[in-house]
């Protein structure tokens, strides 16, 4: 199969390229090499064809789709961003870029798409109240956060809640600009599939980490921020009280999920969302501690600070990924963090 990987020079995209090449597929990479991610030109698998170009550029996308059987769409701006001045860039690269790509795929008759989505589309994860059962808490209030009350209460009775794994059927509730653009990408892909009878799988990544993460950038994931701090000899700064639950999944497992999704044949004409996680919950504080311990210090510092748009707990249910794709994560939290403490990061 000839596969186009947009964003294939990036952190996750480059590992997907490697997995596809190893599986015997022909791979073409289209990457804009945005300076927010690539401060130096990255290396790309020698067996893949590389083309520098932006998914917002119709001519570049048209040329990149020549002879392609499937598209693995990874190109996007990620992270919460610096401030709202980033909003036009997120909308341009994530949503306009996806629209240009999908329109070109329809013209070229390319009917197979795997889309990089994210856990952020859910907002908060699953919660259960002892009295009211499954509930969806609203956005946390600044006054509560300012006073160190980080746990969202039951929206009905105000009682404490228990975190539960979030399933793909949960309502979408984006809490920040990046999340809003990922929801829009999914809706665009669903509309494309319905209109042209294409097959589309949206892989909702949870907290991905591993080799080739970019260092020292505000757009990177929390694992990269902590690792970058350790390399500078600084203590990782853990926001809130460090008790935020997340699902940390190794990039090799994410690449394997993409390979499985490309080889899977879902029902045409609709978008199928699939969580991609490790199936294990760990707190951000645990992750910082494990990484600092494997690196050799300094120990993390819990700051009590918060970011508007962050959520408290979100952990993946991996049931659909197992049933639909045969996905089974291979990297444990302990082994992954030990390796990540010494994995090479990108400039």
Catalytic site residue 178? yes
118, 128, 230, 311 from 76: Cα distances, Å: 11, 33, 27, 21
Specify the DSSP class assigned to residue 266: P
Q: What is residue 191's three-state secondary structure?
A: helix
Asked whether the beta carbons of 244 and 313 are under 8 A apart, the reply is: yes
Report the first-to-last Cα separation within the chain, whole angstroms: 32
Q: Give the pairing of strands 126-129 and 161-164.
A: antiparallel
Rounded to 10°, the helix 177-196/97-108 angle is 10
Active-site residue, selected from the candidate residues 122, 178, 209, 327 = 178
Nearest alpha-carbon partner for 344 in 207, 215, 208, 205: 215
Q: What is residue 118's three-state secondary structure?
A: strand
220, 307, 344 from 331: Cα distances, Å: 21, 29, 17
Handedness of CA 310, 242, 76, 118 (dihedral sign): negative
Catalytic machinery residues: 178
């Amino acid at each position: 199969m000839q596969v186009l990987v947009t964003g294939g020079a990036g952190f996750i995209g480059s590992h997907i390229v490697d997995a596809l090449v190893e599986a015997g597929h022909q791979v073409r990479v289209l990457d804009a090499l945005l300076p927010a991610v690539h401060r130096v030109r990255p290396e790309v698998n020698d067996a893949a064809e590389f083309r520098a170009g932006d998914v917002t550029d119709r001519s570049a996308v048209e040329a990149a789709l020549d002879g392609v059987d499937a598209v693995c769409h990874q190109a996007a701006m990620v992270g919460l961003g610096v401030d709202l001045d980033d909003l036009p860039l997120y909308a341009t690269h994530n949503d306009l870029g996806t629209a240009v790509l999908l329109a070109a795929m329809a013209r070229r008759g390319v009917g197979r798409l795997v889309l990089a989505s994210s856990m952020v589309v859910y907002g908060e994860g699953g919660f259960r109240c002892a009295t009211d059962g499954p509930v969806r808490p609203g956005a946390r209030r600044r006054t509560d956060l300012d006073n160190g009350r980080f746990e969202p209460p039951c929206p009905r009775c105000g009682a404490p809640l228990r975190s539960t794994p979030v399933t793909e059927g949960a309502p979408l509730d984006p809490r920040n600009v990046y999340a809003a653009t990922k929801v829009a990408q999914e809706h665009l892909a669903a509309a494309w599939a319905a209109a042209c009878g294409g097959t589309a799988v949206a892989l909702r990544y949870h907290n991905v980490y591993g080799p080739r993460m970019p260092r020292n950038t505000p757009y990177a994931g929390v694992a990269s921020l902590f690792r970058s701090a350790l390399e500078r000899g600084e203590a990782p700064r853990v926001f809130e009280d460090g008790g935020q639950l997340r699902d940390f999944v190794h990039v090799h497992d994410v690449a394997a999920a993409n390979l499985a999704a490309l080889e899977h044949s879902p029902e045409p004409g609709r978008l199928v969302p699939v969580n991609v996680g490790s199936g294990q919950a760990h707190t951000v504080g645990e992750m910082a501690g494990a990484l600092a311990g494997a690196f050799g210090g300094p120990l993390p510092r819990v700051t009590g600070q918060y970011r508007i748009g962050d959520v408290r707990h979100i952990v993946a249910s991996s049931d659909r990924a197992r049933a639909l794709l045969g996905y089974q994560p291979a990297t444990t939290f302990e082994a992954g963090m030990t390796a990540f403490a010494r994995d090479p990061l990108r400039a």
